[in-house]
Structure 1
Amino acid sequence: MKRCFYLFFAAIGLLFSCQSQTNTEETGTDSTSVAESGVQLIPIQTPKGEFRVWTKTVGANPTMKVLLLHGGPGMTHEQYGIFEDYFPQENIEFILYDQLGSFYSDQPEDSTLWTIDRFVDEVEQVRVALDLDKDNFYLYGQSWGGMLAMEYAFKHQENLKGMVISNMMASLDDYEKYAKEVLGPQMPEEVYKEVMEIERKGDFENPRYMQLLAEHHYPFHVLRKPMNEWPVLAVKTMEHVNPNVYVFMQGHSEFGITPGASLKGWDVKAELKNIAVPTLVIGATHDTMDPAHMEWMSKELPNGSFLLCPNGSHLSQYDDPEHFFPGLIRFIKEVDSGKF
């Protein structure tokens, strides 16, 4: 765990202390509470033994069930709290889910578990446990969750009814290029120069790094509101990140993947043509990810469609819900009715 993460998330917690609320979600310690709350603790088999991951099902629909893969890696289901304001009234069932290493799920301290292939296998075990199949199973992934969704589809698309890749590109090298050549220069010149100098030195424990990002990057490209106005659940998913997972896979940089991080060099552009299931790609004009690249992805997918959130950023469900949710709901229902 790195000091820069603690400094940043401690500052976030202090900033939002007036909004803080007790987490009252029942994690389900007996069969009655699990049944009543929709919570299920699913045993997952791994090369390092059995662990449990937390899921919570909201609603019930035999043909529209959406499993939500959170970002990070190592963040939490809380980024999808706002879905409860939109999906239930549309009769769309959805499943909140903390991946292994995240929040309510077990958090083993073994970095050999933090691989794409093992996470794909975990998602498959969750699918089986929740009785999801090609007649009802929609897989939604945002950011790292979008990477995981693509990787799952490469291996198990026969189990999918539909898929959503939200705010995620198909190449991390292309993401880094966009971040450094397009987003970075949008900062004041002296600020971006200082950020890049910190990155060049690898001085990520310098609190100045997160201070600059919190002022000049996050409120413009992660969630387009002043940080003291961010929704509580968006803040909590950052507060509750597991740095062990995040740093090992992603690294420290907000302008690419840190050298040595396990996701470095990930690129599946050439493989997108192999995903045949109906797929919606969601991008946003102010995203940390290149919206033009995400629109291109939708055209590479044989049954792809693109949704642009013109007022949104990386968490466009929060800063552009007026475009995000109608487009997402329309896709799910069109696939369900056979009109897609």
Structure 2
Amino acid sequence: MKLKVLIFAVISMLFLSNCQQKPKDDSIKANYLDFSKRDDQLTGGIKMIPIKTPKGTFEVWTKTVGNNPKIKVLLLHGGPGLTHELYEAFDGYFPNESIEYIYYDQLGSYYSDQPNDNSLWTNARFVEEVEQVRIALGLDNSNFYLMGQSWGGILAMEYALKYQKNLKGLIISNMMASAPEYNAYAQNVLAPQMDPKILKELQDMEKNNDFDNPKYSELLFEYYYTEHVLRMPQAQWPESITRCFKHINPNVYVYMQGHSEFGITGNATLKNWDIKDRLKTLTVPTLSIGSKYDTMDPEHMKWIANEVQNGRFLFCPNGSHLSQYDDPKTYFPGVIKFLKEVDNGEFRKGN
């Protein structure tokens, strides 16, 4: 009889414990799309945030999706000079997990102000811009996750190196920590995989500074981008990606990156960027994402995860540079697992 009473007591305690935990999760889910107490209800989550710069005050575009007081992911797009539109695949995954995320067009990008002043396009100024966006949105180390893809990964790493005290988690998607090593990978590993005739034609145009030749971009999209940027025939690319490329600000892109994703060209300002020796100072939980067919070396991204003090590597075996689109079955479960484990205090590096 005493044994039955003891078993019943244990079962009751487990049941009550589960009941106590569920309302917390259910409350976040129930209020996820509730804008009634927010000041951006009328705009559907859109806020134009004023940014102070050495050249005056400008506005940047943000759009918050969902409500979750514990997980808020600010998305840093690539380029530089592309748009938040490259992240639109997230709409199909994050809401179901009650993850709050914030689209954001950096200064100079399509939905934000686009001042014509190259002195604004520096890593340091972009870092301060992100910090102003964080403050304006009320993000802090109890909820603030920063996620950057490609150039956005550069910006995310630079921000974390200065402001990691403000972060709950960091996600570096498809970006190496060294531009010279990125260039070397493009030239020594990926370029030789191309048809030699196509490669020579591209290299000849680059040598002749013939970047405005329509043939240059045509060849890149057909023979390089569909292999290493987004592994689909271009006609099948998601409309959001096509729209993102249409909205690129070429002034910002060429000034910082060069003329294409086929390595950093000319005197682009990112050409010598390298923060490899500083990564070991990062203590914030970090997820580094690499893909088999990426323009970036996946082994380098694995190295990043081991170099930071609290890192994990996510490998996308079917993905390229935009692996959220060509390997979503690996990409999104890995990102969501990271966010949930950090939030629950269950994150362990390397697993």
TM-score by length of 1: 0.89
Match in the other structure for 2:199: 192
- What letter corresponds to residue 194 of structure 1 in structure 2? E
Match in the other structure for 2:163: 156
Alpha carbons of 1:205 and 1:36: their partners in 2 closer, same or farther (altered >3 Å)? closer
C-alpha contact 1:199 1:253 (8 A) present in aligned 2: no
- What letter corresponds to residue 93 of structure 2 in structure 1? Y
Distance in 1 between the 2:215 and 2:159 partners?
38
Q: Which of 177, 181, 186 pairs up with 2:188?
A: 181
Q: Which of 324, 343, 347 pairs up with 1:336?
A: 343
Distance in 2 between the 1:214 and 1:91 partners?
36
State yes or no: 1:307 paired with 2:314: yes
C-alpha contact 2:40 2:47 (8 A) present in aligned 1: no
Match in the other structure for 1:12: none
Taking the TM superposition and a 5 Å limit, the aligned residue runs for 1:56-95 are: 56-95=63-102
Higher mean C-alpha displacement, 207-216 vs 145-154? 207-216
State yes or no: 1:320 paired with 2:327: yes
C-alpha contact 2:172 2:287 (8 A) present in aligned 1: yes
CA drift at 1:331: 0.2
Match in the other structure for 1:122: 129
State yes or no: 1:294 paired with 2:290: no
Match in the other structure for 1:274: 281
Distance in 2 between the 1:256 and 1:305 partners?
26
CA drift at 1:322: 0.3
State yes or no: 1:171 paired with 2:178: yes
State yes or no: 1:229 paired with 2:245: no
C-alpha contact 2:296 2:321 (8 A) present in aligned 1: yes
Distance in 2 between the 1:66 and 1:174 partners?
28
CA drift at 1:36: 4.4
State yes or no: 1:220 paired with 2:223: no
C-alpha contact 1:223 1:313 (8 A) present in aligned 2: yes
C-alpha contact 2:82 2:244 (8 A) present in aligned 1: yes
CA drift at 1:259: 2.6
Question: 1:306 is paired with a residue of what secondary structure?
Answer: strand
Give the aligned length. 310
CA drift at 1:255: 2.6
Alpha carbons of 1:94 and 1:249: their partners in 2 closer, same or farther (altered >3 Å)? same
Distance in 2 between the 1:174 and 1:232 partners?
32
* Stretches of structure 1 lacking an aligned partner (at least 5 in a row): 1-30
Question: 1:51 is paired with a residue of what secondary structure?
Answer: strand
Larger relative contact order, structure 1 or 2 (CA cutoff 8 Å, min sep 6): 1
- What letter corresponds to residue 81 of structure 1 in structure 2? E
Q: Which has the larger radius of gyration?
A: 2
Cα displacement string for residues 165-196 of structure 1 (whole angstroms, at most 9, x for unaligned residues)? 00000001000000011111111111111111
Match in the other structure for 1:43: 50
Match in the other structure for 1:132: 139
* Stretches of structure 2 lacking an aligned partner (at least 5 in a row): 1-37
Cα displacement string for residues 252-303 of structure 1 (whole angstroms, at most 9, x for unaligned residues)? 1433212311112000111110111000000100001000111111110110
CA drift at 1:74: 0.4
Cα displacement string for residues 17-68 of structure 1 (whole angstroms, at most 9, x for unaligned residues)? xxxxxxxxxxxxxx97754400111010000111000000000001100000
Alpha carbons of 1:33 and 1:120: their partners in 2 closer, same or farther (altered >3 Å)? closer
TM-score by length of 2: 0.87
Distance in 2 between the 1:55 and 1:230 partners?
25
Instruction: Give RMSD over aligned pairs.
Output: 1.2
C-alpha contact 1:34 1:40 (8 A) present in aligned 2: no
Percent identity of equivalent pairs: 62
Question: 1:44 is paired with a residue of what secondary structure?
Answer: strand
Match in the other structure for 2:267: 260
